Amino acid sequence: MKIAIAQLNYHIGNFEGNLKAMQEAVETARHQGADLILFGELSVCGYPPRDFLEFDDFIRKCQASIDALRAMSHDIAIVAGAPTRNPVPEGKDLFNSAYFLYGGEVLGIQHKALLPTYDIFDEYRYFEPATVFHTIPFKGKKIALSICEDIWNVGNENPLYTICPLDEMMDEKPDLILNLSASPFDYEHAAARISVVRANVERYGAPLFYANHVGAQTDIIFDGGSIVMSPDGQVFDEMPYFENCVRTYDLDLVLRGGVTQEQPKEKIKLIHDALLVGIRDYFHKLGFQRAILGLSGGIDSAVTAVLAAKALGAENVRVLLLPSQYSTSHSVDDARDLAESMGIQYDIVAIKPMFEAFETALAPMFKDLQFNVTEENIQARVRGILLMAMSNKFGNILLNTTNKSEMSVGYGTLYGDLCGGLAVLADVYKTEVYQLANYLNETTPDKNGQLSGVIPQNSIVKPPSAELRPGQKDSDSLPPYDILDELLLQYVERRQGPRELIARGFDEALVNRVLRMVNVNEFKREQAPPVLRVSSKGFGMGRRLPIVGKYLS
C-alpha cells in the first residue's frame, strides 16, 4: 500500500481555493501511485475557522467540499478534515471530523475526541468530543484515524485529558495510524511533535502518518514538517518546513524502518522562515502586494524591512524615514543605507512641522505644563498618521516593528509606533531581534547580489533609543534587555509568578516592577495589531488577560 501525505497552505473560508489545492494534490498523489492521500485537520475550510463555524451556511459549504472530494475518490482513498453536524440535540452542535472517502463513498467518519482549549485553541467552543472509536478497513489493512490533539495525551506527565482515544481502538488491532493535524509553529514545536508521535508509535506498535498544514492564518503560522514514523520509532520522513508538499510512501518500507530523515531545527532560522511565511500569507491572503513601514535607523525596523523585502520583494516595500528633532543624523544615515542597500524605495519626512502644529493647537489647554511623555507620544502618533496616510493612499499595508520586549512592558505608543496591520516582531524578544539581524546579514544578498551585511552595523551596536527627547535611551526606562528578556520569558511563556522568579535569582524589586509593567499595559496589547506567533506563548488569542484586573499591578 502506498500512502501520500499532502501538507497544504489552506485559507480559512476560501472553499474554492482549498478544494482546488486539494484536488491538485489528489492528482499528484495519483501520479505517485498512492492508494490513499491524507490531508490536514479541517482541511476543507482551513484552521482555525473560529466563529464561522456558528453559521449553517459555512457548514453546508464544508459538506459541499467533502462531496466534491468524495466524487473523485473512485480509485484513491481521500482522508480529509471537515466539521460535521452532531445529530443528537444534547451536546455541542458539531464534531471536528476526519472523513475517509473511497470508491465514491464515505467509508467512515472519525470524530475528534480531545479538543484543545488552551493558548490559541478554542475547540470546545464549537465541538462535542467523540465517544465512539473504530478502525476503518481498507485494502486488507485496518486504519486508525486520529485528529491532531487525539495523539497528544500520550507521553505526558500531566495529561490534559482523562482518555487517550487511540487506546479505544486497540482491540481492533490497527495496522497503521493516520493523524490529521493543524499544529501551529513555535520554534520548539517540531521537536515536541516528533516526541509525541514517537510516544504513540511506542505505545501502539504501529506506524504513524501525520499530516500538518503549512502557511499562516493571520497570527498563527503552520510549519508543515509532516511526519512518517516507522514502528521502530525512527522518523522515516519529516517533510520540509513552510512548504506545500505532497509525498507518497510505500507502507512496506515504512514498516521495515531503519531510516531517519529529519529536518534541521535551528531556532533563528526557523523564526526567520516563519516570519517570512507570516508576512507573505497575511498580504496575499488579504489580496495585498505591498508594504509600508517606518525606518528609524534602529534594529527593529531594520529587521522588519529586510524580512518584508524578502517576503514580498524589495520592489513591494516602501519606507518612510521620519526623523524627529531629537533624531541623530546617524539614524537617518543608517536607515538610508539599509534602504539603498536593499533597493527599497524611501522618502524622508521630518515630523517637526506637524509636531509644532499640535503644540500650537494644544497650547491653550497645556499652557506652561512641562514636556513629558505626552509630547513623546504626539511625535510617535504623527509618524503613525503619516504611515497610515501612505497605506491608505497607495494600498500598502503598514507593518508594525515592535518587538516582544517592548510589547510586554508597554514601551510603545498606542496609535503611534503600535500602529500597523501586522506586528512582525512582537513575539521576538529584543535579544532575539539582534540574533535575527546577524542571521539576516549573513544570509541576505543586497540589491547587487552581495552578502555585504544589509543591516548597518551601527543599527546593531548602538544603544537602542526611541529618539523622542534629547539623549533618550531605552535603558533610561527599562532594565538591560538580557535580564529583562529572561525575566519576561519566565513570566510570559513559563507562567512563573513572583515567588518562583525570585527563587530563580531575579531581584525582588525588579520582578515587582517588570510584572507590574506587563500587567498594567494589557490595555495597549488589547488594541495592538495581530502578532506573528513564533514562541509557545505569543500575544493575542493565545494569552487572555483582564484589562481592569488588579493583580501584580
Residues 124-183 that bind its own copies (CB under 8 A): 124-125, 157-162
CB of 116 to its own copies, least distance (A): 10
Single out the catalytic residue among 41, 128, 238, 406: 41
- Judge whether 338 and 365 are in contact, CB under 8 Å: no
Note whether 107 binds its own copies by CB under 8 A.
no
Taken in order 298, 303, 304, 309, is the CA torsion positive or negative? positive
Please report, as residue ranges, which positions from 303 to 322 form the binding site for its own copies (by CB under 8 A).
none
Q: Which of 190, 214, 195, 193 is nearest to 267 (CA)?
A: 190
Which cell numbers hold the place of 277? 511565511
343 is a site residue for its own copies (CB under 8 A): no
| 49/479 with CB nearer its own copies | 49
Among 225-233, 436-444, 480-488, 541-549, the segment contacting its own copies (CB under 8 A): 541-549
Pairing of strands 220-223, 214-217: antiparallel
Cα–Cα dist 21/179, whole Å:
20
Q: 291: which DSSP letter?
A: E
Nearer to its own copies by Cβ, of 13 and 257: the residue is 13
Residue with grid cell 511533535, as numbered in its chain: 193
Between 374 and 475, whose beta carbon lies closer to its own copies? 374
The residue type of 87 is P
Nearest to 83 by CA among 49, 131, 107: 49
Q: Are 255 and 230 in contact (CB under 8 A)?
A: yes
- Exactly one of 2, 61, 62, 112 is catalytic; name it: 112
Interface of this chain with its own copies, residues 420 to 439, rule: CB under 8 A: 421
Pick the stretch among 190-198, 239-247, 472-480, 522-530 that binds its own copies (CB under 8 A).
522-530
Site membership for its own copies, residue 252 (CB under 8 A): no
Establish whether 537 is a catalytic residue. no
Question: Phi and psi at residue 421, in whole multiples of 5°?
Answer: -80, -30
* Spatial distance between the Cα atoms of 226 and 148, rounded to a whole number of angstroms: 12
Of these, 87, 329, 368, 372, which contacts its own copies (CB under 8 A)? 372
Any catalytic annotation for residue 45?
no
Binding segment for its own copies (CB under 8 A), chosen from 97-105, 255-263, 279-287, 469-477, is 279-287
Q: Which is nearer to its own copies, 10 or 99 (CB)?
A: 10
Residue range at the interface with its own copies (CB under 8 A); choices 256-264, 267-275, 359-367, 441-449: 359-367
Q: Decide: is 83 part of the binding site for its own copies (CB under 8 A).
A: no
Q: Pick the closest to residue 404 from 503, 275, 286, 505 (CA basis).
A: 275
Cis peptide, bond prior to residue 48, ω within 30 of zero: yes
Considering beta carbons, is residue 38 or 216 the nearer one to its own copies?
Answer: 216
Nearer to its own copies, 176 or 382 (CB): 382
The helix/strand/coil state of 453 is coil
**Contact positions with its own copies (CB under 8 A) in 374-413:** 374, 377-378, 381-382, 384-386, 388-390, 392-393
Please indicate whether residue 41 is annotated as part of the active site. Answer: yes
Q: Could you give the CA distance from residue 34 to residue 5 in angstroms, rounded to a whole number? A: 10
Which one of residues 118, 191, 261, 508 is an interface residue with its own copies (CB under 8 A)? 118
Could you tell me the CA-to-CA distances from 440 to 135, 219, 306, 450, 454 in Å, in that order? Answer: 48, 22, 8, 13, 8
Spatial contact of 430 and 464, defined as CB atoms under 8 Å apart: yes
**Contact between 453 and its own copies per CB under 8 A:** no
Contact flag: residue 508 with its own copies (CB under 8 A) = no
Distance CA 296, CA 462 (A): 13
Closest CB to its own copies among residues 194, 517? 517
What is the closest distance, in whole angstroms, from the C-beta atom of residue 530 to its own copies in the complex?
A: 6
Place of cell 502644529: 357
Compare residues 62 and 101 and give the one whose CB is closer to its own copies. 62
Q: Which residue among 148, 164, 245, 419 is the active-site one?
A: 148
| 3-state DSSP assignment of residue 351 | coil
Of 474-493, which residues contact its own copies (CB under 8 A)? none
Residues 188-227 that bind its own copies (CB under 8 A): 216-218
Cell 509525498 belongs to residue: 247
Among 415, 435, 439, 536, binds its own copies (CB under 8 A): 415
